[in-house]
A and B are shown apart, each in its own frame.
Chain A
Amino acid sequence: MSASPSANVEPLAGIVGAENVSTALEARIACSRDASGLEGECLAVVWPSHPEHVPAVVEWALQEGVDLVPRGAGTGLCGGATPQRSVVVDLSRLTRIGPLDREGRRIEVEAGVVLGALNRRLAPQGLFLPVIPGSHRAATVGGMIATDAAGLRAVRYGTLRDWVEEVTLVDGLGRVHRLRGDALSSAVGREGVTGFVVKAVLKLASLPTRRTVSLIAFDDEEALLIQRDRWLQDPQLTALEYLNRHAAGALGWEARPHLLVEFDSDRGDIHDPERIAALWRARDGLYPVLARRGHPVIEDPRLEGEALQELLRWLDAEGIPAFGHLGVGIVHPCFRDGDGRIPALYERVAAWGGRVSGEHGIGLKKKGWVDAAFRAEIQQLKEKYDPKGVLNRGKLC
């Protein structure tokens, strides 16, 4: 990384305050990559402390001729927050939580609010935002909206798209949009290429009062998928998590395919809260265990039906550890760095009619695998919201 970035950031100090903009090497290195490990050059970092700062930052970028990269917690796994000779706009300081509308079950929050902190605040009221990705202790609401986060309980609660009522978006011309209804699709899941999500009104759910789980080992994936389809009929099902035998073995469990299922009823076999918590801790810790054992590259294809069964068989036969949110068809195979079977995975998923990304997004990592219709849709959105190409250049397509 060069020691002397070329962007003239002095005017930014007048917008956000001198202490909230930096070209120091330390700040630029730290924001040069996200959890994907994909790295690029960061020219400077800006930390807006009010949503109102963001339009002026965009206007500065237009005048300066540099592009901007929105950043939340940097927990993304596809390089969505990786700069490419860009200025990173870190929204971590937008942490205000508005008053709770208890009756309407909604709350307005700024983009940098962390999901874990929000749910801790809401718990005494018996409410929560039920979309819980694995990174929930660090992930920001803005980043979750940008990637349309899913997670462990997607089988019951869907994705973040289902829980957003309004998004305040600052577009690539510095214009402020308050998006609702169908217009939300211009921001949710668009990975920052149409604008900065600076605020959102979120819908909330009631915290379940009862929780039981079952942990079942199967002889093979075929038997497991038959049982999965039975459980999917249960309206009290809240999670249906899969581990193949290679992943189960890494946790010290019997090396057979497993399902960990959760109900907000008495249907599960395990009722002891401590045992349930221990099982979820083990599940939460699965990816770090696999990463430490040499499989840090995590993918997230999404398939259904025969194709899902084919994928699970292939992963098993190849000895690739995999787990995932099988209730919604998302599987997380984990690979060694540079494993030549990763492109083979994408090719198979595309041939089977699945999606190469079920929840992590496209970012830089998967943009070579998007189809022409998606590319055309994004280009249309870019023309409307970012005609000068200032926002998250080169992402998605």
Chain B
Amino acid sequence: MLTEPTADGSVELAENPPCIECGLCREVCPLFAVLRQEHLSPRGLALLAEREVASVVFYQCTLCRACKEVCPVGHDPDGERVRARLVARGVETEANRAMIENIRKYGNPFGPLKEGEIPKTLTCC
């Protein structure tokens, strides 16, 4: 499974209950709200993860975990871990590859600053 403990032997302390395929997550998923395709729904992605389908569709999940909030058994899609395994297998989108490279090289997912450019900051008030 793409969500099983890692090869380095680390073990998840918290149990992740398996998806029971009820589909209640579909209607809270922001990705499904737009595309309305089962394989991009949390339930669909859980099934693909369980089947070890190494696919770039996992990069479309927004990692918001709204699905976990409504899940009757509290299944966690664990998107970060799934992606980490995909990267280890060389299954990656170009955008993800560039982002990681930029962070490693420049500490900035968008790449180096241009001459005179100052880092953008997020403010809330």
Contacts and interface: CB of A to CB of B under 8 A. Distances in A.
A34 B21 CA distance: 7
Given A47-B37, A137-B70, A292-B73, A26 B23 contact: no
Contacts of A296: 20
A26 B53 contact: yes
Interface string A44-76: 010100000000000000000000000101110
A135 B23 contact: yes
A33 interface: yes
Contact of A93 (B17, B23, B36, B55): B36
A108 interface: no
Nearest to A292: B73
B73 A288 contact: yes
Interface string B12-30: 0000010011111111000
Contacts of A27: 37-39
A291 B70 CA distance: 16
Given A31-B38, A47-B37, A73 B26 contact: yes
A291 B20 contact: yes
Nearest to B28: A137
A92 B48 CA distance: 20
Interface centre among B20, B25, B39 (most CB of A within 10 A): B39
Given A35-B21, A138-B26, A90 B37 contact: yes
A285 B73 CA distance: 9
A26 B22 CA distance: 19
B24 A90 contact: no
Contacts of A387: none
Contacts of B73: 288, 291-292
Nearest to A26: B39
A287 B71 CA distance: 12
B27 A137 contact: yes
A292 B23 contact: no
Contacts of B66: none
A117 B26 CA distance: 12
B109 interface: no
Given A74-B38, A137-B27, A285-B72, A30 B48 contact: yes
A114 interface: yes
- Which size class do A's interface residues fall under? 35 or more
A97 interface: no
B64 interface: no
Contacts of B72: 284-285, 287-289
Contacts of A135: 22-24
B39 A30 contact: yes
A363 B72 CA distance: 25
A99 B12 CA distance: 51
Interface string B44-60: 10011001010101000
A47 B40 CA distance: 13
A207 interface: no
Interface string B103-117: 000000000000000
Contacts of A250: none
Interface string A88-101: 00101101000000
Interface in A277-293: 284-285, 287-289, 291-292
Contacts of B48: 26, 29-30
Contacts of B22: 35, 75, 135, 138, 288
Given A92-B38, A138-B26, 4 more contacts: A33-B21, A75-B22, A137-B27, A288-B72
Interface of B: 17, 20-27, 36-39, 41, 43-44, 47-48, 51, 53, 55, 57, 70, 72-73
**8 smallest beta-carbon distances between A and B, as pairs:** A288-B72, A30-B39, A30-B44, A30-B38, A26-B39, A92-B36, A75-B23, A138-B23
20 contacts: A22-B37, A24-B39, A25-B53, A25-B55, A26-B39, A26-B48, A30-B38, A30-B41, A33-B47, A35-B20, A35-B23, A74-B23, A92-B37, A114-B27, A117-B27, A135-B23, A135-B24, A137-B24, A288-B72, A292-B73
Interface of A: 22, 24-27, 29-31, 33-35, 37, 45, 47, 71, 73-75, 90, 92-93, 95, 112, 114, 116-117, 135, 137-138, 284-285, 287-289, 291-292, 296
